[in-house]
Amino acid sequence: AADPATPPRHGERIARALGPKARHTVVPNAGHGVMTLPCLRDAVVRFIEANDDDTALRVDARCAQALPRPRVFVPLGQAATGPAR
């Protein structure tokens, strides 16, 4: 994870402080704005909307590990045709 605002070590410390039911997910090759990624947004919503701890703790966020590395350079033709997706 490449997040200068909140590096993974800070999340690890918070998770330890919260206790054994805390969950800390690190998205490789991503920065601070991971809530725009559909798989993570859906996982967070399922976690928050869970009716009990057991259901919340079973939420699968492994999709974070499969997200592709973002392209560093966008070909000029694509950049000129519209917004990034």
pLDDT in tens, 18-58: 999 998 888 887 777 788 888 889 999 999 999 999 999 99
Q: How far is CA 66 from each of CA 20, 24, 61, 70, rounded to the nearest angstrom? A: 25, 16, 10, 12
The reported pTM is 0.65
Note whether 27 and 34 are within 8 A (CB): yes
pLDDT in tens, 53-77: 999 999 998 888 887 777 676 666 6
